[in-house]
Structure 1
Amino acid sequence: MTRLEQMLGETPYVAYLYGYPHKTAYRPFTPALSLESVWAEERRDALFLYVHVPFCEMRCGFCNLFTAAGPKQDVVDGYLGALVRESRRVKQALGRATFARAAIGGGTPTLLDVAGLETVFDLMEGTLGADMRNIPVSVEVSPETVDAEKLRVLRARGTDRVSIGVQSFIEAEVAAVKRPQQTAQVEAALDLIRSTGFPTLNLDLIYGMEGQTEESFLFSLRAALRFRPEEIYLYPLYVRPLTFLGKKARAWDDLRISLYRAGRDFLLSQGYTQVSMRMFRAPHAPDAGGPVYRCQEDGMVGLGCGARSYTGGVHYSSEYAVGSREVRNIIASYSERTEASFGEVGYGFRLTSEEQRRRYMLLSLLADGVDLGAYRQRFGADVLTDFPELAELETHGLGRREAGVLKLTPAGVERSDLIGPWLHSEGVRELTREYAWR
């Protein structure tokens, strides 16, 4: 029995792959690398600019993101000051650069007041030079923290996509994942977002929560469609170490695959197109526009604790934690850093030539598919020679070749959270196994 066959006999929910390698494979660099050396050979004509705001009003029971709940204003102000210093040092190292995409995430960026939001946009636009009004710009918000004035600032500064984590329109379901959310407040926030005129509204919903049924999940989907979202993301619930649900350790009643299929089929019946396992796009959604950006090929500049930066050979970030004390300590240390200290890269992952090929293959496969000719042109080799295990996808009906592109079938798409980890290198798997959660 192959490793894939063994995994197919177990849960399809192993891990969500939104980047490769995962941050749990990152380790300290000894000695630290200089920022200039890391970016020396990198193309800078189509970068992604990301700013992380590691603050929330509360931490949801499923959340393992890098964020601190209920920060005092002096903590927020100290963090923003360090963010400004980091952006200056990063600009010095980058020199001339063009950004094709920008995003502000967290945490909850709209926990910041209007002045704080303006500070973030000023450093992205003024310091780093991102043309925020002519590239796609996405900002994450929450029902508890949005108001008319903040939304007007986001729209005026170039934001064309707002993403809001609703999770469910049924209060008992969100209460089960420690999110005391009022549906009336969610609906008011959505009305406000729509009235502000953002071209793209994205709603996040979760399936697999305690007490959730197919009927209740479809109820939330129908409620979501009343606001005509251009995008909907359907996330399976994961119970991760150190989160509230992880500590609760309830017996798992796994209905996730049936809930996923019900949600997928419903959205397809409503005219949505499935882009990935999680993402569905409405027929009225606008084209992304702006410069072309391909995550498999182009770099990413991440600013702030919790943000990751990608170059061809090095991925790096601040250290990562979930526990509240450790998160607060990392934020405090970051806030004390000098501008000069941001010229050192001390934590991350060096990508060998093989890992660079693997990353390109993996991110392509889980998105539009691996273009066999493009891979050969980029790396001078055949992807099926470099990664012969890919042939197993076709054997098990999880992948197929169409017009020179290896794509996942519908059966493969619904097992994306199994296929991604299956294709990790042994070195990355070992680092992830050894990672000490804190």
Structure 2
Amino acid sequence: MTAVMEPGMDAVETDAASSPYQGYVYAYPHKTAYRPLPDRPGLRGLWAGEPQRALSLYIHIPFCEIRCGFCNLFTRIGSPEGLTTAYLDALDRQATAVRAALDGDARFSVAAFGGGTPTYLTAAELTRLFDIAEQRMGADLRAVPLSVEASPDTATADRLAVLAERGTTRLSLGVQSFLDEEARSAVRPQKRAAVEEALGRVRAAGFPVLNIDLIYGIDGQTVASWLRSLDAALAWQPEELYLYPLYVRPLTGLGRRGAEDAGHDPAWDAQRLTLYRAGRDHLLAAGYRQVSMRMFRRTDAPDTGGGDHSCQTDGMVGLGCGARSYTSRLHYSFDYAVDARQVRGIIDDYVATTDFTRAEVGRHLTGDEPRRRHLLQSLLQADGLELAGYRQRFGSTPAEDFPAELAAFAARGWLAEGDADRLALTPEGLAHADAVGPALFSAAVRADMAAYELK
């Protein structure tokens, strides 16, 4: 399992200065703000009139061989006999229904397989997964950037061969720490030797981009141990590195140990900030460019192309019980859970579904929500927001639409100055990106997230 985690966010603090670690915002609104859609709108109507020439395709595989202590992804451990086959059968049915709801000339310009752990599937099952994406959805996976997540134990030579042959351009390996004692502390049973062997197989497979996920803030971790782990990753010269702050969420392994309140501990906040800055500076000195708070890319890494998809304006089609889909007016998915029993029930319901022609759970984007989403999706990237594009889309500026929020960021030194064409965070603003994002949530989204019943 990689560390690209559903935040499962608790009630978000209203004061962005209260803690730098309030939640990883990679999508807005978060699933805990989704609700059952009473009208169950048909997909064909939802996608009618939507731009469909540069869609993103995401396929979710909700299986892992282990569940790490910090993990609140929508995933289950292992699978009873026949479940992965039944899940792929359901994916096939869903893909057929979704493709029929899109325009005939709909095109995908970027794709990703996530989870869970997609490489939990066998090589033969991965082959079928690619067939579903290509033959049912019409995605030309060899012609677009394709990212696939893997874990060390499942990054076997036969699985990697399928991924490479079918056009995977980016393989993301969830390592979290190269130090065995830190892995144990995060309740991630793995040995460094196995991680190194997996990395050797990944490099031998020849993917253009290798990404390694690492976590800081683990109990017992020091700056020295953090830099040792970073140097072990750098020895493989990965094209990308993601540095994730550790979060302890309810219903996770660490959360059940009674550590939920650690997220509100000023000492832990200070430790994570110290580790973040040490890691950031180390990677910048090693020839990496900061893309976001978490993402660092080697300056000489090959350009695999980003397609012409824009996450701010273009739609996303999600397949699988944990995937979400985006139109300009509605974000939708299936039910969301973290608790193992609840997750199993949702997966069982998904594989039993025969009619995938309607949206079941989601949130309509009304009022200023599209503006908030556009600002969030742009400002949390190091390059920031292009003001001309925002004005062209909305007829206004972020300063006109969100004066109080931006003034608060500026007062804290989080907004860069001197560029009339772009709104961007300072290095210190990027360090506080997990407070910047939640501070931009609307009151309605915040209230629904707070009212969400954890399961």
Alignment TM-score > 0.5, same fold: yes
Match of 2:141 among 121, 132, 140: 132
Partner of 1:260: 276
Preserved CA contact (<8 Å) 2:15 2:439:
no
Aligned pairs for 1:362-377 (under 5 A) are: 362-367=376-381, 368-377=383-392
On the 8 A contact 2:177/2:183 being kept in 1, the answer is yes
Deviates more, 1:215-224 or 1:244-253: 244-253
Q: Choose from 321, 325, 343 the match for 1:327.
A: 343
Q: Say which is worse superposed, 379-388 or 44-53, in terms of deviation.
A: 379-388
CA–CA distance in structure 2, aligned partners of residues 299 and 225 of structure 1:
35
Specify the alignment match of 1:355 in structure 2.
Answer: 369
Question: Relative to 1, partners in 2 of residues 1:170 and 1:372: Cα closer, same or farther, differing over 3 Å?
Answer: same
In structure 2, give the amino acid aligned to 1:258.
T
Cα deviation, residue 6, structure 1: 4.2
Distance across 1 between alignment mates of 2:234 and 2:438: 32
Of 284-293 and 27-36, deviating more is 284-293
**In the TM superposition, what are the counterparts of 1:50-129 in structure 2 within 5 Å?**
50-96=58-104, 97-129=106-138
| Per-residue Cα deviation, 1:89-143 (whole angstroms, up to 9, x for no partner) | 0010013211110010000111101111011100111111111111100000100
Q: Tell me which residue corresponds to 1:278.
A: 294
2:353 maps to 1:337: yes
- Aligned-residue CA RMSD in angstroms? 1.4
Distance 2:306 2:438 in 1: 32
Change (3 A) 1:41 1:134: same
- The residue type equivalent to 1:432 in the other structure is M
**After alignment, is 290-299 or 89-98 more displaced?**
290-299
Q: Are the aligned partners of 1:89 and 1:342 in contact in 2 as well (CA < 8 Å)?
A: yes
Give, in whole Å, the separation in 2 of the partners of 1:180 and 1:105.
Answer: 21
**Which residue of structure 1 aligns with residue 318 of structure 2?**
302
Structure 2, unaligned runs of 5 or more? 1-11
Partner of 1:238, secondary structure, is: coil
What TM-score, normalized to structure 1?
Answer: 0.97
Match of 1:29 among 37, 42, 53: 37
2:200, 2:47 → 1: CA distance?
43
Find the aligned partners of 1:369 and 1:84 in 2 and give their Cα distance. Answer: 38
Task: Tell me what 1:406 maps to.
Answer: 423
- Look up the match of 2:307: 291
Partner amino acid, structure 1, of 2:323: A
Contact 1:207 1:234 in 2 (8 A): yes
Aligned to 2:439: 422
| 1: CA distance, partners of 2:14 / 2:67 | 37
Kept in 2, the 8 Å contact 1:239–1:245? The answer is yes
Quick one: distance in 2 between partners of 1:273 and 1:387? 29
Residue 219 of structure 1 is matched in structure 2 by 228
- Code of the residue aligned with 2:48 in structure 1: it is A
1:75 and 1:350 map into 2 onto residues whose CA distance is 33
Q: Distance in 2 between matches of 1:155 and 1:163?
A: 13
**What is the DSSP-based 3-state SS (H/G/I as helix, E as strand, rest coil) of the residue aligned with 1:30?**
coil
Kindly tell me: are residues 176 and 140 of structure 1, through their superposed partners in 2, closer, same or farther at Cα, counting changes over 3 Å?
same
**Mapped partners of 2:159, 2:365: distance in 1:** 40
Q: 1:149 to 1:434 in 2, by over 3 A?
A: same
Distance 1:4 1:90 in 2: 37
Following superposition, the deviation at residue 4 of structure 1 comes to 9.4
Q: Deviations over 1:359-412 (max 9, x none)?
A: 011111112212222111111122211111213322221002414101000010
Cα deviation code 1:285-317 (max 9, x no counterpart)? 111315312111111000001101011010001
Query: How many percent of aligned residue pairs carry the same amino acid?
Result: 52
**1:65-109 alpha-carbon deviations (Å, 9 max, x no partner):** 000001123111111110000000001001321111001000011
| Larger deviation, residues 246-255 vs 192-201 | 246-255
- The question of whether the paired residues in 2 share the 8 Å contact of 1:134 and 1:290 is answered with no
Deviations 1:42-62 (A, max 9, x none): 100000000000000011100
Q: Secondary structure, in 3 states, of the residue corresponding to 1:163?
A: strand
Distance 1:420 1:343 in 2: 33
1:205 aligned residue = 214
2:155 to 146, 154, 175: 146
What's the secondary structure of 1:344's corresponding residue? coil
DSSP-derived class of the 1:363 partner: helix
CA distance in 2, matches of 1:412, 1:204: 22
Q: Which amino acid aligns with 1:369?
A: G
Q: Distance in 2 between matches of 1:82 and 1:23?
A: 22
Q: Is the 8 A contact 1:64 1:243 kept in 2?
A: yes
Distance 2:436 2:16 in 1: 9
- In 2, are the aligned partners of 1:393 and 1:400 still within 8 Å (CA)? no
Amino acid at match of 1:123: I
Q: Contact 1:81 / 1:335 at 8 angstroms: preserved in 2?
A: yes
How many residue pairs end up in the alignment?
A: 433
**Match of residue 382 from structure 1:** 397
1:167 aligns with 2:168: no
Which segment drifts farther, 303-312 or 246-255? Answer: 246-255
